[in-house]
């Protein structure tokens, strides 16, 4: 009975650092929970699992969700903690549902342990202290009450507890605030009002949440329109720009061009923030200056914040409010908040909740704007108000069944740096996909048409945008297979989004071998693609290196004067593209890493994103 398996799943664990010299790293492990212990195994495809560690359930003191605002440096973004003996095991789940299932099951199995903790730490132990309370003893008593019965039931937890979401929600995530207005599109949805509070009922779907307003009305809304209600959450403030690079921040502030234009953004160091300010006061040769100030924290508890040591505040909003009225050591007071997100609401995942098929009567075609591998692309309008790109599919290019399957894959993918699919139209021939419209066209044309006008910071920002989108695809096991500047689109403020998933396939083992005869662009292709038609996210990484070269050469054609056969021969002989003039040494090194011959030697997109962010901060 004790060996009965309750749960098993691939998760990521952080090293427990049982010795002071132990490295801090992350490993994918196959976790198995039985009635007596939690075990984790090394997992390699096609090979026998090797036990790497285990924890007796009777020795567990605490199991709880970790709530933190730091950047999670691994693929899975939903952490929870298991405190046992004198160690803390941090585990990262692929989604909220998985995390809740593990936490609740572990709580249920350990709720009667004799050695349960009375308090726990809600945040990580990091850099020698607890981020939640700043205590410097790793095994110090927690700072919040631990309730082992919270969300635990008397009956064993079913595999998918779909009818208990009110119980499953972390209470700190249950109340949210709308940061955009949203008008309900069908009876299943709920209208959102900016700055109003709502209660989350069901957050199991990534992009659409079921919520309740203060009058008791329920309905689905885009999850990207909501943020958690918390005194520490800065996302409700227009001046806060999450996950924006230094180079992108400088571009936005220069575009604003007003004295005292400012924003608060995430610093390179997780959990820290930077204030970026535009000023003409320090300008030389009529070139304005952008100053970056790190928001400092006091070492006492509760921590306080300051830019100038004489002016210390209980919260970051209080600090910003003060410096909006007083320069107090800054080059100028903070006058005009600049936002990368407030002016325009994010594109929703699909036209509305649960809707995939768009009626032909809802679409108006205006003009042809291009053609692709599968058909013609038109500029059009959806419901006479939303500009869209209508991509028709040539008869015979793919079956209707394949078309529907591709659309279903696309509808599951939603990210600020991916061109969003609104839906599909099946009524008229040819059938078509309806996408978000990007005003400035494809990246390759944009680079050529404005050649000579781009700063290095702007070009790096474009590469960062593409890398963000590709890191998201990598995380979701999606291979692009045709990544190039021509298949990326440009919006306002040089924002670039990855497009054209006509050749994408979702694969569980991160590898896809194309069928015989499939055409591919040799000059963007990795050696294993043009030699064996073998695609993976690492072949996408090779293509990304070529895309970076396109960007920093402002739209030049790679290997311009060479035939495909010559390119294949030279790449196999070790030849690589030269360093563009606008690329720094550090940027060219990143490109070169993407072009390593062995695919396993190439970096992941998540690591490339880290590298490019570092360059953006220090070495543009």
Tens of pLDDT, residues 454-472: 999 899 999 999 999 999 9
At residue 66, the pLDDT reads 94
Does residue 178 have a pLDDT over 60?
Answer: yes
Highest mean pLDDT among 83-97, 360-374, 495-509: 83-97
Q: Which helix (H) or strand (E) holds 53?
A: strand 50-56
Mean pLDDT, rounded, for 220-230: 90
Cα pseudo-dihedral 275, 279, 284, 290, rounded to 10? 20
- Give the whole-angstrom CA distance, residue 620 versus residue 615: 6
Give bridge partners of residue 265 from the DSSP assignment.
Answer: 241, 274
Does residue 397 have a pLDDT over 90?
Answer: no
Structure-token pair, residue 144: 């919040």
Task: For 319-352, write each residue's pLDDT tens digit.
Answer: 999 999 999 989 999 999 998 887 778 888 887 8
Q: Does domain 360-436 have CATH number 3.30.200.20?
A: yes
Flag the least confident range among 153-157, 270-274, 439-443, 476-480: 153-157
Kindly write down the DSSP assignment for every residue of 184-209, as one continuous string.
Answer: --STTB--B-TT-EEEEEE--SSSEE
H helices within 134-240, ranges in order?
Answer: 165-168
Task: For 357-383, write each residue's pLDDT tens digit.
Answer: 888 888 999 999 887 666 789 999 988
Q: What three-state secondary structure class fits 303?
A: coil
Superfamily name with CATH number, domain 442-619: Transferase(Phosphotransferase) domain 1 (1.10.510.10)
Kindly write down the DSSP assignment for every residue of 260-294, as one continuous string.
Answer: TEEEEEE-SSTT-EEEEEEEEEEEETTEEEEEEEE
Mean pLDDT, rounded, for 123-144: 88
- Give the whole-angstrom CA distance, residue 424 versus residue 426: 6
Does residue 156 have a pLDDT over 50?
Answer: no
At residue 152, the pLDDT reads 46
Does residue 170 have a pLDDT over 50?
Answer: no
Q: What three-state secondary structure class fits 384?
A: coil
At 302, is the pLDDT very low, low, confident or very high (cuts 50, 70, 90)? confident
| CA–centroid distance for 249 within its chain | 18
| CA–centroid distance for 351 within its chain | 21
- Give the whole-angstrom CA distance, residue 100 versus residue 149: 14
At residue 95, the pLDDT reads 83
Mean pLDDT, rounded, for 159-166: 39
Give bridge partners of residue 246 from the DSSP assignment.
Answer: none
Rounded to the nearest 5 degrees, what angle is found at the Cα of 507, between the Cα atoms of 412 and 223? Answer: 20
Q: What share of the chain is helix, strand, coil (3-state, %, to 5)?
A: 25, 30, 45
Torsion sign, CA atoms 567, 573, 579, 584: positive
- Give the whole-angstrom CA distance, residue 293 versus residue 307: 7
Contact 414, 207 (CB under 8 A): yes
* Higher-confidence position of 355 and 81: 81
Global pTM? 0.68
Q: Domain 5-145 - what CATH class?
A: mainly beta
The candidate with the shortest Cα–Cα distance to 261, out of 285, 273, 248, 277, is 277
Does residue 507 have a pLDDT over 60?
Answer: no
Flag the least confident range among 199-203, 368-372, 406-410: 406-410
Mean pLDDT, rounded, for 549-575: 94
- Give the whole-angstrom CA distance, residue 615 versus residue 295: 21
- Give the whole-angstrom CA distance, residue 91 versus residue 110: 17
- Give the whole-angstrom CA distance, residue 110 versus residue 150: 12
For 496, 543, 580, the CA distances from 448, given in Å and listed in that order, are 15, 19, 15
The candidate with the shortest Cα–Cα distance to 106, out of 28, 242, 11, is 11
For 113, 242, 276, 345, the CA distances from 337, given in Å and listed in that order, are 52, 14, 10, 17
Does residue 161 have a pLDDT over 60?
Answer: no
- Give the whole-angstrom CA distance, residue 268 versus residue 613: 8
Contact 145, 194 (CB under 8 A): no
Mean pLDDT, rounded, for 543-549: 98
Does residue 70 have a pLDDT over 90?
Answer: no
Mean pLDDT, rounded, for 499-508: 55
Does residue 18 have a pLDDT over 80?
Answer: no
Does residue 445 have a pLDDT over 90?
Answer: yes
At residue 22, the pLDDT reads 43
| CA–centroid distance for 619 within its chain | 23
At residue 48, the pLDDT reads 65
At residue 269, the pLDDT reads 67
Contact 512, 536 (CB under 8 A): yes
At residue 520, the pLDDT reads 67
Give the right CATH number for 239-337 from 3.40.50.880, 3.40.30.10, 3.30.505.10, 3.30.420.40.
Answer: 3.30.505.10
At residue 3, the pLDDT reads 72
At residue 571, the pLDDT reads 95
Torsions phi, psi of 284, nearest 5?
-125, 140
Percent of the chain with pLDDT over 70: 88
> Alpha-carbon Rg of the chain, whole angstroms?
26
* Higher-confidence position of 286 and 60: 60
Structure-token pair, residue 471: 């890191």
Task: For 29-64, write each residue's pLDDT tens digit.
Answer: 889 999 999 999 886 644 567 888 999 999 999 999
User: Which residue matches tokens 């048409």?
Assistant: 449
The residue extents of the domains of the chain are: 5-145, 239-337, 360-436, 442-619
- Give the whole-angstrom CA distance, residue 436 versus residue 418: 10
Omega of the bond leading into 451 within 30 degrees of 0 (cis): no
Kindly write down the DSSP assignment for every residue of 398-450, as one continuous string.
Answer: S-HHHHHHHHHHHHH---TTBPPEEEEE-SSSSPEEEEE--TT-BHHHHHHHT
- Give the whole-angstrom CA distance, residue 263 versus residue 250: 10
Residues taking part in catalysis: 482
At 573, is the pLDDT very low, low, confident or very high (cuts 50, 70, 90)? very high
Torsions phi, psi of 91, nearest 5?
-120, 145
At residue 386, the pLDDT reads 87
For 245, 388, 459, 599, 620, the CA distances from 340, given in Å and listed in that order, are 11, 22, 17, 36, 21
State the distance between the two ends of the chain, measured CA to CA, in whole angstroms: 60
Mean pLDDT, rounded, for 379-399: 82
The candidate with the shortest Cα–Cα distance to 515, out of 398, 598, 429, is 398
Task: For 258-267, write each residue's pLDDT tens digit.
Answer: 999 999 998 8
* Higher-confidence position of 525 and 620: 525
Flag the least confident range among 67-81, 156-170, 490-504: 156-170
Omega of the bond leading into 230 within 30 degrees of 0 (cis): no
Name the average pLDDT for the chain.
85
At residue 228, the pLDDT reads 85
For 133, 134, 388, 396, the CA distances from 143, given in Å and listed in that order, are 7, 10, 51, 63
User: Which residue matches tokens 């004489």?
Assistant: 310
At residue 46, the pLDDT reads 47
User: Which residue matches tokens 């996950």?
Assistant: 243
At 270, is the pLDDT very low, low, confident or very high (cuts 50, 70, 90)? low
At 23, is the pLDDT very low, low, confident or very high (cuts 50, 70, 90)? very low
At residue 399, the pLDDT reads 67
């Amino acid at each position: 009975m004790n060996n009965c398996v309750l749960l098993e799943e691939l998760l990521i664990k952080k090293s427990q650092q049982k010795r002071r010299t132990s490295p801090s790293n992350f490993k994918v492990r196959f976790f198995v929970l039985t009635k007596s212990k939690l075990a984790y195994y090394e997992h390699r495809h096609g090979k026998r699992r090797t036990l790497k560690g285990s924890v007796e359930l009777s020795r567990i003191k605490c199991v709880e969700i970790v709530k933190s605002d730091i950047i999670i440096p691994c693929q899975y973004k939903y952490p929870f903690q298991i405190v046992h003996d004198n160690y803390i095991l941090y585990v990262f789940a692929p989604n909220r549902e998985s995390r809740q299932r593990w936490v609740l099951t572990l709580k249920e199995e350990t709720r009667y342990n004799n050695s349960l903790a009375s308090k726990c730490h809600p945040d990580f132990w990091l850099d020698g202290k607890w981020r939640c309370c700043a205590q410097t003893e790793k095994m110090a008593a927690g700072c919040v009450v631990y309730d082992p019965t919270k969300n635990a039931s008397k009956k064993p937890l079913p595999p998918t507890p779909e009818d208990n979401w009110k119980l499953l929600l972390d209470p700190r995530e249950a109340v949210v605030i709308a940061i955009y207005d949203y008008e309900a599109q069908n009876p299943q949805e709920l209208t959102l009002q900016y700055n109003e509070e709502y209660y989350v009922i069901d957050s199991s779907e990534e992009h659409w949440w079921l919520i309740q307003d203060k009058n008791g009305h329920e309905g689905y809304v885009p999850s990207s329109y909501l943020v958690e209600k918390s005194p520490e959450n800065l996302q409700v403030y227009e001046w806060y720009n999450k996950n924006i690079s230094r180079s992108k921040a400088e571009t936005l502030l220069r575009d604003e061009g007003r004295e005292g234009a400012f924003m608060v953004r995430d610093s390179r160091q997780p959990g820290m923030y930077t204030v970026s300010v535009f000023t003409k006061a320090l300008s030389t040769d009529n070139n304005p200056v952008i100053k970056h100030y790190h928001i400092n924290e006091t070492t006492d508890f509760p921590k306080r914040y300051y830019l100038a040591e004489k002016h210390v505040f209980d919260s970051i909003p209080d600090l910003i409010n003060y410096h909006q009225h007083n320069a107090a050591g800054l080059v100028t007071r903070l006058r005009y908040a600049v936002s990368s997100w407030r002016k325009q609401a994010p594109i929703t995942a699909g036209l509305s909740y649960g809707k995939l098929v768009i009626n032909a009567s809802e679409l108006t075609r205006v003009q042809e704007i291009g053609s692709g591998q599968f058909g013609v692309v038109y500029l059009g309008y959806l419901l006479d108000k939303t500009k869209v790109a209508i991509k028709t599919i040539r008869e015979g290019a793919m079956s209707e069944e394949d078309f529907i399957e591709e659309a279903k894959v696309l509808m599951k993918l939603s990210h600020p740096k991916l061109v969003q699919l609104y839906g599909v139209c099946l009524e008229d021939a040819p059938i078509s996909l309806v996408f978000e419209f990007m005003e400035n066209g494809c990246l390759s044309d944009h680079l050529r048409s404005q050649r000579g006008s781009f700063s290095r910071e702007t070009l790096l920002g474009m590469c960062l945008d593409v890398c963000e989108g590709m890191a998201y695809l990598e995380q979701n096991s999606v291979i692009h297979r045709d990544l190039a500047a021509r298949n990326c689109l440009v919006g306002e403020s040089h924002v670039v989004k990855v497009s054209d998933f006509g050749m994408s396939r979702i694969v569980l083992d991160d590898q896809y071998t194309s069928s015989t005869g499939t055409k591919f662009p040799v000059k963007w292709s990795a050696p294993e693609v043009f030699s064996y038609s073998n695609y993976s996210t690492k072949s996408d990484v090779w293509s990304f290196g070529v895309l970076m070269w396109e960007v920093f050469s402002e739209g030049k054609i790679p290997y311009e004067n060479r035939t495909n056969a010559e390119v294949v021969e030279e790449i196999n002989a070790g030849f690589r593209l030269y360093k563009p003039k606008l690329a720094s040494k550090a940027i060219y090194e990143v490109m070169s890493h993407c072009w390593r011959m062995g695919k396993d030697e190439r970096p992941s997109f998540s690591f490339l994103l880290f590298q490019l962010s570092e360059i953006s901060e220090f070495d543009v």
